Amino acid sequence: MKIRLRDRTTAIVQALRAGSRSFVHRATAALLLLLALTVGGVLWGYWSSLYKDAQQRSGTLAFLLAEQTTRTFQAVDLTLAGLEPVFEAAPLADQAPAFCKLLAQRVSELDFIHALYVVDAAGRLTQASGPVRDVVPEAVAKQYFAAFARDPGLKFLIGQPIFERPGQLSAIPVMRRLTGPGGSFDGMIVASVEPRYFSDFYRNLDLGRRGSVDLYQDNGSILLASTSDDVPAAAVPALAWAPTFDLASTLGNFRSPGAEADQRLVAFHRAGAYPLVVAVGIDLADLRLRWWRVAGPTLAALAAMAVMAAALATLATRRLAERRLARNRAITMQKLEALGQMTASVSHDFRNLLAVMTSTLRLVRKRGPDEAVLRAAEEAVERGARLITQLLAFSKRNEMVVAPASLDALLDGVAEVLRHAAGPGVTLVIDKAEGLPLCKADQTQFDAALMNLVVNARQAMPEGGRVTIATRMDGARGVALVVSDTGSGIAPQDIRRIFEPFFTTKADIGTGLGLAQVYGFMRRIGGDVTVASDVGTGTTFTLLFPIAERQDALEETRPAA
């Protein structure tokens, strides 16, 4: 089970290596997605913060302005209430000088009132603080009279706005009931509240490009607006979002419906006990503009980073491809070098075989057929045939096939080629153990690995020496193949890096890929390779092959690196 798990892990690693190019792009895309989600979360948090701040700011302003409106209308109410006892004391003649003077004095004391006047029950203007240009129209006054008559307890009333001309608001009438000696309705005293007192104050508030402060009656009718003087002259101009207006609440906050460009975040607050509501609106388009001032450069930077990351990923994959190509070229050069060195030895051996057959033919020509001479010729031909078979087997470039195999049989199949690779000055000793179990291996990769180790051993023994290849059982770990030489050895500072690709101590004659191939082959089949070396004494490589289990009898094909 452990070997099978290692096999699967190795297969995953190999698949990742084979798809390194797509892996780089997928990793880059994943990082960019993570960055985009992070930036999106930050920008969403920034928008939420702007929205909550706008809600809090509009709510605070609505509360403060409602307090200011309440105090203003309280002052108007108290002023009117203070004038009421004069009428209750005794009847006044029309335009009584003393009373008109009193009215003018009260107007001069209050900045937000520009006229005080009295309308009797017949609708006549009987007293005034001065010339009055915005008297409540007679038709509208009758509506107020009817309201006072229906409700004897109604003392204070805020009327409909008065327009000097269409689109030009001139006054907001505030009325107080006058009661006759018998408790009957005797007219009303009216204060013309100056609308600019409120609208000019509202305009001075910093609410953005299209922010607004509006004053409404509690039925949703608008009294004045800070955004424009062009209030319709209709008696009760209804608001488009009046149904959303919660008249039962003292305060509230809502988002106006309609087109996106006209949407506002509105907070409202009732002006105490008076039938007035102050509403503060903050334009959502202005909030979006503030958000885009931060989000725009942020998203532009994110897009630039995405382009840069894509370019870097493309460059990285190109470098990986170039490195892979260079590695393949180096492997080919190393194999050609080993093949060239081996070819010299094979050529020498074939020359000897041809010399034997040539001598045999000459002897047969001179002496006639001779059994001993013909047998020697046949042995030479058979030896040459075996050598050719082993060379052909060694030259295969198929995909790696991992299958149960006998280590001794694999070693026998490549022994003759290894002797030629070792060269004439090196003694090759093969020591095979008996009764070894089948192990997992691939013949072509096995041959190449042994060839690399023998060629390295020969190069480490320029004056000649001995290479020993031995097989043995390594407990429960597997079957071991040990390759030892009597060469110069490997320095301690280099032994940790000998399996790294392109690392070599052979200067111009080495590629640094031979041992990396050996290491890669062993790891791919689930095995391992270790090295021990003493400088001046020699080096020993131990290749540990995993034991083939019964269920591994079928071949398992894996792609080559």
d(CA 253, CA 248): 13
Contact 481, 453 (CB under 8 A): no
Amino acid in the structure at residue 186: D
DSSP code at position 237? -
Report pLDDT for 238. Answer: 36
Residue 344: φ, ψ to 5°: -60, -40
Contact 212, 137 (CB under 8 A): no
Q: Which of 515, 402, 395 is nearest to 447 (CA)?
A: 395
Residues 473, 475, 477, 483: is their CA dihedral positive or negative?
A: negative
DSSP code at position 223? E
d(CA 250, CA 183): 34
d(CA 293, CA 298): 9
Residues 327, 332, 333, 339: is their CA dihedral positive or negative?
A: positive
Report pLDDT for 466. Answer: 94
d(CA 480, CA 278): 92
Tokens of 305: 């980073």
d(CA 197, CA 69): 11
Crossing angle of helices 2-18 and 514-524, in 10° steps, is: 130
How do beta strands 439-441 and 426-431 pair? Answer: unpaired
pTM over 0.85? The answer is no
The number of angstroms, rounded, from the C-alpha of 278 to the middle of its chain's C-alpha atoms is: 44
d(CA 76, CA 116): 10
**No. of H helices and E strands in the chain?**
11, 19
Q: What is the CA radius of gyration of the chain?
A: 53
Q: Can you identify the CATH homologous superfamily of domain 398-557?
A: Histidine kinase-like ATPase, C-terminal domain (3.30.565.10)
Return all residues near 463 (Cβ < 8 A) that are at least 6 apart.
Answer: 425
What number of residues does the chain have? 561
d(CA 260, CA 257): 8
DSSP code at position 283? E
Tokens of 439: 């192990």
The secondary structure of 164-202 as a DSSP string is: EETTEEEEEEEEEEEE-TTS-EEEEEEEEE-HHHHHHHH
CA atoms within 13 A of residue 469's CA, in its CB half-sphere: 22
| CATH code 3.40.140.10 for 45-287 | no
- Sequential pLDDT tens for the chain (561 residues): 444 444 555 555 455 455 555 777 788 888 888 888 988 899 899 889 988 988 888 888 888 888 988 898 999 999 998 888 887 777 788 888 988 999 999 999 988 898 999 998 888 898 898 888 888 888 888 888 988 888 888 888 888 888 877 667 788 899 998 887 667 788 899 999 988 888 777 777 777 767 778 888 877 777 777 654 433 434 333 333 443 556 666 777 777 665 666 677 888 888 888 888 888 888 888 888 888 988 889 888 888 888 888 888 888 888 877 877 777 776 666 666 655 655 655 665 666 667 667 767 766 777 677 676 677 676 667 666 656 655 554 555 456 788 899 999 999 988 888 888 888 889 999 999 988 999 999 888 898 889 889 988 998 898 899 999 999 998 878 999 999 999 999 988 888 888 887 677 775 555 566 788 888 889 989 999 999 999 989 999 999 999 988 544 444 434 433
H/E stretch holding 465: strand 465-474
Tokens of 396: 């295969």
Q: Please, what's the b/e burial string for 446-465 (b: 16 or more CB within 10 A of its CB; e: otherwise)? A: bbbbbbbbbbbbbbbbeeeb
Residue 370: φ, ψ to 5°: -140, 130
H/E stretch holding 441: strand 439-441
Q: Which of 528, 503, 522, 529 is nearest to 561 (CA)?
A: 522
- Residue ranges of domains in the chain: 45-287, 398-557
Return all residues near 135 (Cβ < 8 A) that are at least 6 apart.
Answer: 117, 119, 125, 190
